[in-house]
């Protein structure tokens, strides 16, 4: 492990990753890899998550190609030194901001979107001129294997090194010294990563999960709200970090929401959801059992069917959920949607503020003043009004969390907002 990291460090110190032309060439090679080996990549993602080719392409591959194109267009401008404002004492001097690569970067990928959440940070690291150690998630083993097979065929083998393995290998990697660590995953492992990084004072980028609330106001287009919530919640079988985790609404709306989501599920996935090619599976038995345990003692208004042999959990809605219930104590990361009744928007705001700051917050209302008020009186990584997840699709907006969820974006920047 040490020799692989040192090999990457020696390659970085040689200086060959710094020239703009080299960075552009490596990014173009990465794009060529995705285009030429698209079928292999889609098959690997499909094998890990029971994902159709269309879903794998639209959720992972297309965003990678778009990101590479964006960086190739903007990188020459980004690397150009930027003049700095001068004062009376430096009026005749040259003052500018020069960006430089950090060095050797460690990327620890996630299993829920195993390709995009590993390759996307790699794009940024290459663009910045760094050497990179890539550790794909061992949970999505098929994607990890294809990444380790393909990257050395297209990229500089000394500068960009893939290391596969489980907890043992990751633990050993974290003993090494890096110049930056990027980790996407759960909070428990995030703490381990941060503790290991602290020993070397290594800066970290942690993109962790959380319980993202969705407030449904009585004054909203309920048909549109339920359709969009259904899409965002059950995409990838609920295994999305910014999926709506639970709904807050007035008690009178519960039955209407259940009925409309039920109708939308049938439209999206057909009469037999289990047979739909567009509905994924839980990644493994461990997570299957974890999610099933969250249903204990809950009132299931819709769904609830499971099949342990295939890690299938049907789209499920829970009603009249007690805020102290087990399902409300951790990020669900599965196709279970609790509805927590609240009296009004004031109580919803208080509920959100009494818990850890969410990664995302969704508000459905025709009242723009209410939406702006809820943004002003709560804190979250990102907000989307009258839709879900869409703020993530804009590269012009920062993405990240606040506090417990930690950050991908600059901590002094305001939360992402989209209407």
Q: Which residues are designated catalytic?
A: 207, 241
CB 257 within 8 Å of CB 222: yes
CB 293 within 8 Å of CB 326: yes
Q: Which helix (H) or strand (E) holds 255?
A: helix 254-269
Q: Label the pairing between strands 96-97 and 180-185.
A: unpaired
- Give the Cα separation of 137 and 184 in Å (integer): 10
Residue 70 has φ and ψ, to the nearest 5°, of -60, -45
CA nearest to 226, candidates 140, 317, 149: 317
Q: How many CA atoms lie within 13 A of 15 on its CB side?
A: 0
> Going by C-beta distance under 8 Å and a sequence separation of 6 or more, which residues neighbour residue 78?
99, 127
CB 362 within 8 Å of CB 395: no
CB 398 within 8 Å of CB 391: no
Residue 171 has φ and ψ, to the nearest 5°, of -60, -45
- Give the Cα separation of 45 and 49 in Å (integer): 6
CA distances (Å), origin 283, targets 141, 189, 397: 10, 18, 30
- Give the Cα separation of 128 and 125 in Å (integer): 5
How is residue 382 annotated by DSSP? E
CB atoms within 10 A of CB 143: 28
């Amino acid at each position: 492990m040490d020799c692989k990291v040192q090999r990457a460090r020696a390659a970085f110190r040689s200086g060959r990753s710094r020239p703009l032309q080299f960075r552009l060439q490596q990014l173009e090679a990465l794009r060529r890899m995705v285009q030429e080996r698209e079928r292999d990549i889609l098959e690997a993602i499909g094998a890990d998550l029971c994902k159709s080719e269309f879903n794998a392409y639209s959720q992972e591959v297309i965003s990678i190609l778009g990101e590479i194109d964006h960086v190739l267009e903007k990188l020459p401008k980004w690397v150009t030194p930027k003049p700095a404002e001068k004062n009376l004492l430096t009026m005749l001097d040259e003052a500018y901001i020069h960006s430089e690569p950090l060095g050797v970067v460690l990327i620890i990928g996630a299993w829920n979107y195993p390709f995009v959440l590993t390759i996307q940070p790699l794009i940024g690291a290459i663009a910045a001129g760094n050497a990179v150690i890539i550790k794909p998630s061992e949970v999505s083993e098929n994607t990890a294997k294809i990444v380790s097979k393909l990257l050395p065929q297209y990229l500089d083998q000394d500068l960009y090194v893939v290391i596969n393995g489980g907890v043992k290998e990751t633990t050993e990697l974290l003993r090494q010294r890096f110049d930056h660590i990027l980790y996407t995953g759960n909070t428990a492992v995030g703490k381990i990563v941060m503790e290991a990084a602290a020993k070397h004072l290594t800066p970290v980028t942690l993109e962790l999960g959380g319980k993202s609330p969705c407030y449904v106001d009585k004054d909203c287009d309920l048909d549109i709200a339920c359709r969009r919530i259904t899409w965002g919640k059950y995409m990838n079988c609920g295994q999305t970090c910014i999926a709506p985790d639970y709904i807050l609404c007035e008690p009178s709306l519960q039955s209407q929401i259940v009925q409309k989501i039920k109708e939308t599920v049938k439209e999206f996935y057909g009469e037999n959801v289990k047979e739909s090619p567009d509905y994924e599976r839980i990644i493994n038995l461990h997570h299957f059992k974890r999610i099933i345990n969250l249903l204990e003692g809950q009132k299931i208004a819709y769904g609830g069917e499971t099949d342990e042999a295939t890690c299938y959990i049907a789209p499920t809605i829970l009603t009249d959920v007690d805020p102290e219930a087990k399902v409300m104590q951790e990020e669900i990361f599965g196709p279970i949607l609790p509805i927590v009744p609240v009296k009004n928007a004031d109580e919803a705001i208080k509920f959100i503020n009494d818990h850890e700051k969410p990664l995302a917050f969704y508000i459905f209302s025709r009242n723009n003043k209410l939406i702006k008020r809820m943004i002003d009186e709560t804190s979250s990584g990102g907000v989307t009004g009258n839709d879900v997840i869409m703020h993530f699709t804009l590269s012009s907006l920062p993405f990240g969390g606040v506090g417990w969820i930690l950050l991908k974006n600059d901590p002094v920047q305001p939360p992402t907002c989209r209407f």
